[in-house]
Structure 1
Amino acid sequence: MNKDILHENRVHGNITFPMGVYQVIEDESHTLFDYHWHEETEFLYMQEGTAVFWLGTIKHELQAGDALFIPSGTIHAGFVADLSTPCLVYAIVFDLNLLSGRTYDVIQSKYIDPLLEQTLFLPSLLKPHTFWENSLIAELVSIVEFFEKKPVAYELLIKAKLYNLFAGFIANLQEIPQDQPITTNIYKIERLKKVLQFIDESYPLRIQIKDVASVIAMSEGHFCRFFKAMVRKTPMDYINTVRINQAAKLLSHSDKKVIDIAMEVGFENPSYFIKLFKWHKKCTPSDYRKLEKQKNLPAL
């Protein structure tokens, strides 16, 4: 499977400092992010609210102050759990090679290589119940602050914090209850990846449910139940979400007409596209474009 096709199409940092920190915002359906995966390693820090995150088929419930470790290549999704409280999540995404050294030393062979090769399994969930867990969560908070404020030598400070994080994990492995392996129900996950790949390749085309179901040799009814159970959206809701997000990118980075963008991302009816876009983004495509241009105006 070509993972690049289903990659979230976001460059995290740059080649000299491959990492980024993002504030995750829920969408209109209270989804933080749909199922996806990437080659980078990720930490999530729950600053406010409560949410449910799925790593493969493993469910984790996070409350304010909790954190989650997501290994490279793990398919994952997140959903708001309590709609009555605001939800604020930070994602720290980085290439684990950032921690590799120029020389092959004991740190590389004993710790970094096993992390890269995923032969050293770390637990996913961090809760502020013990001193060492509080210490690791504090490191994550510091990384977010350093990245946002960018003080002098912030790259060095962040890299030091990442080393502290993994050292703290490894030093306390015997005290940590091990998670159920991510590979549980790997067959379901691999089938879902095939479906998501097909959608990412085909969203500009006319897609029928039977076409998607045939990718994994399921009947339409069985497939719809399978997809909704895994993704928490119907297949068509997910396809339209992909289309709307692609349209938003084109509105932000091109001068194409709205009607042309609608057709390009797979909508045959421009009126339906505008209605759905407004439901997803809380504004019309034209207003969205204006807002994005205003964001990019230089400060006076």
Structure 2
Amino acid sequence: MLKLLAADGIDSEIQAHYRLIASVRDTIGMHTHDFFELFLILKGSVVHIINGKRQLLQENTLVFIRDRDVHYYEQTTDSDCQFINLSFNREVLDDLVAFLGEGFPSERLLEPVMPPSTVLSKMEKEYVRYRLGQLSLIPQEKKLAVKAEVRAILTDLFSRYIKAEADPVELTGQPGWFKDLCREVRKKEHFTQGTAALVGLSDKSHAYLCRMFRKHLGMSPTQYINELRMSYAENLLLNTDMEIVEISLEIGLENVSYFYDLFKRRHSLTPHRYRQFGIVHR
């Protein structure tokens, strides 16, 4: 099996390499490497074969690849794929983990069989594309400046998006009923009803659900439901002309002030500013 080496493709002074991959045809076959990667799907979809498993990755998916993962890409039958990739040396990750400190769950990034991934909102995708694109604006002869920017970008992206927080639809080790519940409640007709939907769908008591959500996801049922509500609200803000009051009602929140509070805690922006920012960066 092909093993790619940092010494062959990554500048030792910069310790990272950024590139745009215009087509799945431009990728290589099954391989591993002695460096790490962060890649983002910009357009289309791709079949990602990683550590013996097949994943269908859609647009806006951000994936962290470790230095022991074995993977390659296959084109889907109905579309090609364009993505951006940032490769970086182990030393960069070690420095990042040391900087973020003990509160950053690095072992949950590195130890699981499957690498972490997350699906971003459209605005988040544009933000990641913008941040990575900054690397191409720095003259390559200014290697120390590029090196510093790489570390600043990775610190930003890891602290924002790659936190080893399990995606609710990609659960492992949980009871079957709990997995089914988390998948089912992602439907709009359920999560807009609040935690009552969890109780009704599972036929479990609210107290028992609280214990299970804390145990398996590290959050309360209310937090879980509100995460789904906020994700749906993001899409409505970016892709519709609905008034913010209408969006609040659409996601099941009659208290608009509470909606604003939840949204600002998640994005440090009001829904109105989030919409403005998303339009500008499309």
Give the shorter-chain TM-score range: 0.3 to 0.5
**When the two structures are superposed, what TM-score results if normalisation uses the length of structure 1?**
0.45
